[in-house]
Structure 1
């Protein structure tokens, strides 16, 4: 045992000391308010779209509310098709003799409405169009054309809902929003309303009558029909003409459709019918003109403003949903490509590793047998430092162990010295942060190859020897080992175990073959001492000193590789709070490193591979995708409520199946038991959300220009080397 004292060289300041910026609680919490507001706005947009597009819709007009006519006045059942129930004394009206009021429901439709308008214009005839609010919002120019060409516009609710079956709140919503849409599009309001699925007077049910009374209280006249073309069933042009052929001289209200499906027969039948009716002396006109009322009036300015805002909001919500749908498709494609890519690359990496080489064009390398220096930075690591040092000292490869006590207050240095293990040296220094501790150990190292290991990590006997072998290749400047979670008991431990095996290790295999490794983890990494000294040692510019160091080596032209059989066992956070702190620091530090080394994107050689491959991968998979994850979750709820929940469930099960297959393969490569994978579905529902919230917090912190302090993880004293057959 020996003691070494750090030199008088000024210590690199710790991140906490270098960035003495006060964190204002109000500012820090602002991003959660922004996120909540965005999610609420998104949920509102999705709710609007779900309601208007999926809770109702234009359907078969034969489907009516057959709940009896109890309570319906005889004057309605036996009266005219225009019903005025605005007073207790109900009145009805019908067109004058030889007058045909021509009406169209379910539009406007971008294909058929213009053709119908062309036919009407050719015959110099005006008609009444009962428009569906959502269709009018989608095609406002057609509604404006109706008004400009002298046609009459009435309401057919917002989403074509059966008012006879709808509760009162929905009746009000459907009619008022349809009116608001009309006011926003045309600047006018309508008095005429035709309930969807209504027909003639004698078909009015109790529910429909209740709806007619409810809307009459708001000033609406209900327009029924006397002759139904039944064009929605596409019976043929001749049959449509026959259905609309008037008998006698009584005035009629004719029902046709300009939306809701293929209306080619309607267009042709309309042209022929108008030619015949004109020859028989019938006058074809609008409902209002047929019964002698002016059904449309200019909307007050306030109504126009509200209507314009409503139409704009509906359009914006539709655009949001469309954009999200495209982004979801893109993220799904990216996720699929990533899964296929990492599995294929991992398979190749495994095959090449079994042959003792990474690439077929690289010859077998000589074995490294020279001693190495192992640097263990330690700050209050008394809970696990003994296990860490003893495991390293038991290495089959000759090692020099330097424990750098970075101002510990728990007797860490005294504990290491009391072990009396030959070849173990202790450096005591004032607290300066992990980078300064590593630099102190680097300066004191006796050998060219150094291994850096955290104080909460233990090695297996063969780890050091396996880890350093790739450094026999003169192009390699650093080697990442395979970090394992030692405290994997409990569901949180199992989730982190899965993440290490499936997430980190599969990615490292990909980075290895792509020659763009962004991080050699602090838990286990081997380096060329000369390369580290050349780049100035370990920098304190970021909170992810391991990522910063790795990227610096890559930018200097060094290759960084992965050794999957060099195993290190580390303690993972045992509580959600501790996990949050650790991952927050990791993510924020990684963002700092990515920003610091952004210039690699335009460089060539090894630096360019890091910039364009490694940084690109991190940006898409570890920043942008997590930022988009809350939207995915909100959209999933939207799908369960408004879309087909069975299809959504099948898609989720397919996604989970793919995740399980990839995880099982990763576990097989790492020779792990599959038992923890039962927690994977729960990981997707709980752990995943925590991880993307960490990314969101980190991104907002970085954008706000706030500086994060170093978060030291709590130690639990659970370090021991698991038996190989227990992995």
Structure 2
């Protein structure tokens, strides 16, 4: 990852002095995108009967308050304007009614059979299904069938308030308006049966619905096709006796309706031969049509509703595909990390393993520093405790807090201070390279401390002449806070376990700015450290790969760095890392067509980095989004079990990483909370980086505040005069 200690160059700092209005916009856009996706999922749950649905059925109640002529009357109940009338279908007329649709599989087959036999019917559709399949609703109208309301979410209205009943009807009408441009005046309550079954609970609902201008239609012949009793039995139950007219209850949704379709195909021609007519309700009663066209703003409201529902279906469908992709990537990455990290551990620790002759010659340690007064003394003293011969160059990059004076006052041997006007970290490192006395150069941050063995462990791989750079093991020094503990898990599990994997694959993407080593002879030909990107460490690592050098990982070269301690600082750091990594990938995109051994990074490393560091993290929020969706809309238990399964896989990887790094497992206690909170912050940061990249935005350097809490592991060192090179010294 990129260095923690980024600082602005003069031009960039000048630009950063005045607030740019579009910075808050880039912060706002990721949140707006996430809110929009959440809204789409909410709408999908809403239209899939997974929210506000109520499938309870009221127990039988007394019937003494129901008018006798309703109990003994026909299946068409007119309670409009205070009336209590009922109507029956004339003899030799059958009104086929289908509930709960439209269904994308069975409704078209039902319509095909009706069209084949020139029969009309009434479809009592729910608002949820009509919203999802508006083309089928339009087909019903086009082919002469009537539509009736069956509520939006299919609840038992006997248990609902008047406000909820109004909502169910209005939303149902809105769906019909958007789907077919019509409204209807007929209604069938869910869980209804014969008029004789009306009781003291359902009759007040019927009266209230009548006061709203609706005619309630129940049935007097029930095919009971939902029980799938067999085609012959469905036909027998659906056929009235002695040529009587009837309203027949059937279903075109809610399960396998193959028996219903087959029964219709046999029943229609047979009963037509017996003189039956299959009409819609208005035709059978010789009454005005139940449907009327809708125009004006109401029509456009309906169309807008259907548009949003269809958009939510498409968006959530795409999200489901994305979830499958990210699930494959996440599991694949975990498997690769576990397998290849184990291979790396065995390779490093097996007897006789070595890089070549031991590296004992002195090395130069470069410490670029910008306003590191709180940390620089600990950093330099840790280097003085090194068990490998070193010279230390502290490059003061225009600090205004006396960083250079602190180092000079320490009076340490083999420590030189180079002062320069503020030019940014890459320029400071290049200045150090120009003044380094040795070919092997170690680079670290001004807020980092080394263990006594760090430099020695870091430079041993240079015994292999093909190795051009070595990545060390960066660790969080201030891990006692919750944010620090989360970053500690991320460093051990995410960064260092990744580096083991990439080492085995031969395509290490990043030498961490906190602890890395390079050959000067490898850096000089590629131009040293570049300021083309905000992730100069990733940039230079990719450039070394393309130049044909090996880049490896030294797990025992540990460095302790100060991680951000506030959410704002963490956001700034990770935003810069993400954006800089994208810049580096784009800069080195032609690596995919590099030939020869140097092309391995382009063929393997660049796709892996793009998938695992950019694409997969961008899609990873889908896991948590669908977790919330499943908890809210169901199936809750299966959703939680699936999420716990993913968490268990992550816990196994984390435990394995902690074991390899010999870390205490107690910090993993906060892993579940990290997955719920910390990861969400990282998702939004990455999304913001994407938006910045796609909109052509520019990100300025941002200096993080340091506290100096990470102390040197070694003891005190003697004070001597430090050598100082001022800014007048020319750059080689």
TM-score of the two chains, using structure 1 as the length reference: 0.90
* Residue number among 193, 202, 206 corresponding to 1:212 in the alignment: 206
CA distance in 2, matches of 1:33, 1:421: 49
Deviates more, 1:548-557 or 1:439-448: 548-557
Q: Deviations over 1:648-703 (max 9, x none)?
A: 21112111111111111001111111111101111111211222222223333333
Structure 1 residues 124 and 504: alpha-carbon distance in aligned structure 2, compared to 1, 3 A threshold: closer
Q: Counterpart in 1 of 2:325?
A: 330
Do 1:498 and 1:676's aligned partners in 2 also have CA atoms closer than 8 Å?
Answer: yes
2:159 aligns with 165
Say whether residues 1:414 and 2:405 are aligned partners. Answer: yes
Tell me, in whole angstroms, the C-alpha distance in 1 between the residues paired with 2:65 and 2:352.
88
Map Cα deviations across residues 367-403 of structure 1 (whole Å, 9 max, x no partner): 1111111111222323222222222122221111122
- Partners of 2:627 and 2:640 within 8 A in 1: no
Q: Aligned to 1:88, which of 70, 82, 88?
A: 82
Q: What pairs with 1:240-319 in structure 2 (closer than 5 Å)?
A: 240-248=234-242, 250-275=244-269, 277-278=271-272, 280-293=274-287, 294-319=289-314
Pick which of 68-77 and 556-565 moved more.
Answer: 68-77
Supply the distance in 2 between the matched residues of 1:136 and 1:51 (Cα, whole angstroms): 13
1:352 aligns with 347
* Counterpart mapping for 1:455-534 below 5 A: 455-534=446-525
1:407/1:115 Cα in 2 relative to 1: closer, same or farther (>3 Å)?
closer
Which residue of the partner structure matches residue 4 of structure 1? none
* 2:653 is the alignment partner of 1:659: no
Q: Quickly say closer, same or farther: Cα 1:55–1:530, change in 2 above 3 A.
A: closer
The structure-2 alpha-carbon separation of the partners of 1:607 and 1:30, relative to structure 1 and needing over 3 Å to count, comes to farther
The yes-or-no answer on 1:627 pairing with 2:611 is no
Corresponding position of 1:177: 171
Deviations 1:120-179 (A, max 9, x none): 445443322223344445544544443344333323233433333344344333333333
Q: In structure 1, which of residues 436, 450, 459 is the aligned counterpart of residue 427 of structure 2?
A: 436
Task: State the alpha-carbon separation in 1 of the partners of residues 394 and 349 from structure 2.
Answer: 34
What's the RMSD between the two structures over aligned residues?
2.9
Question: What whole-Å deviation, never above 9, does each CA across 1:525-560 have from its counterpart, x for those lacking one?
Answer: 111112222222222222222222222222222221
SS at match of 1:312: helix
1:427 matched residue in structure 2: 418
CA distance in 2, matches of 1:230, 1:326: 38
Moved more, 340-349 or 691-700: 691-700
- What's the CA shift string for 1:19-70, capped at 9, x where partnerless? 754665431122343333333332222122212214389999x966634446
2:39 corresponds to? 44
1:91-131 Cα distance to aligned partner (Å, 9 max, x none)? 22112244333322233344444444454445443322223
| 1: CA distance, partners of 2:237 / 2:58 | 20
1:227 matched to which residue of 2?
221
CA distance in 2, matches of 1:401, 1:157: 78
1:562 is displaced (CA, Å) by: 0.7
Answer with 32-41 or 450-459: which moved more: 32-41
Q: Secondary structure at the match of 1:240?
A: helix
Q: Which 10-residue stretch deviates more, 613-622 or 672-681?
A: 613-622
User: How many angstroms apart in 2 are the aligned matches of 1:441 and 1:120?
Assistant: 85
Kept in 1, the 8 Å contact 2:126–2:151? The answer is yes
Runs of 5+ in structure 2 lacking a partner? 1-6, 715-732
SS state at 2:702 partner: coil
Deviations 1:443-463 (A, max 9, x none): 111111111121222222222
Q: 1:706 to 1:250 in 2, by over 3 A?
A: closer
Unpaired stretches in structure 1, ≥5 consecutive residues? 1-12
Indicate conservation of the 8 Å contact 2:10/2:422, yes or no: no
CA distance in 1, matches of 2:107, 2:382: 81
CA distance in 1, matches of 2:113, 2:530: 78
Contact 2:45 2:51 in 1 (8 A): no
Task: Choose the corresponding residue for 1:616, options 589, 607, 627.
Answer: 607
Q: Structure 1 residues 394, 637: CA separation in 2 closer, same or farther (over 3 Å shift)?
A: same
Alpha carbons 2:355, 2:462 under 8 Å: kept? no
Could you tell me which residue of structure 2 aligns to residue 680 of structure 1? 671
Which whole-Å CA distance do the structure 2 matches of 1:324 and 1:253 have between them? 43
Give the structure 2 partner of residue 154 of structure 1: 148
Residue aligned with 1:543, SS: coil
What CA distance in whole angstroms lies between the structure 1 residues aligned with 2:200 and 2:514?
75
Deviation at 1:495, TM superposition (A): 1.2
Of residues 557, 569, 572, the one that matches 1:566 is 557
Cα gap change, 1:572 to 1:275, in 2 (>3 Å): closer
Question: Does the Cα contact within 8 Å between 1:15 and 1:709 map onto a contact in 2?
Answer: no
CA contact (8 A) 1:65 1:207 kept: no
Confirm or deny: 8 A CA contact 1:56 1:161 kept in the other structure. Answer: no
Shift of 1:354: 1.3
**In the aligned structure 2, how far is the partner of 1:186 from the partner of 1:562?**
65
Q: CA deviation at 1:331?
A: 0.6
Q: Corresponding residue for 1:3?
A: none
1:366 and 1:106 mapped to 2: Cα distance? 79
Aligned 1:116-135 pairs, distance under 5 A:
116-135=110-129
Distance 1:628 1:169, change over 3 A: farther
1:188 corresponds to: 182
Q: How many residues align?
A: 707
User: Contact conserved, 2:183 with 2:291, CA < 8 A, in 1?
Assistant: yes
Question: After TM superposition, what 4+ stretches of structure 1 lie above 6 angstroms from structure 2?
Answer: 56-60
Are residues 277 and 585 of structure 1, via their aligned partners in 2, closer, same or farther at CA, if it must alter by over 3 Å? Answer: closer
Determine the C-alpha separation between the residues in 1 that align with 2:79 and 2:409.
Answer: 98
Q: Which moved more, 1:30-39 or 1:500-509?
A: 30-39
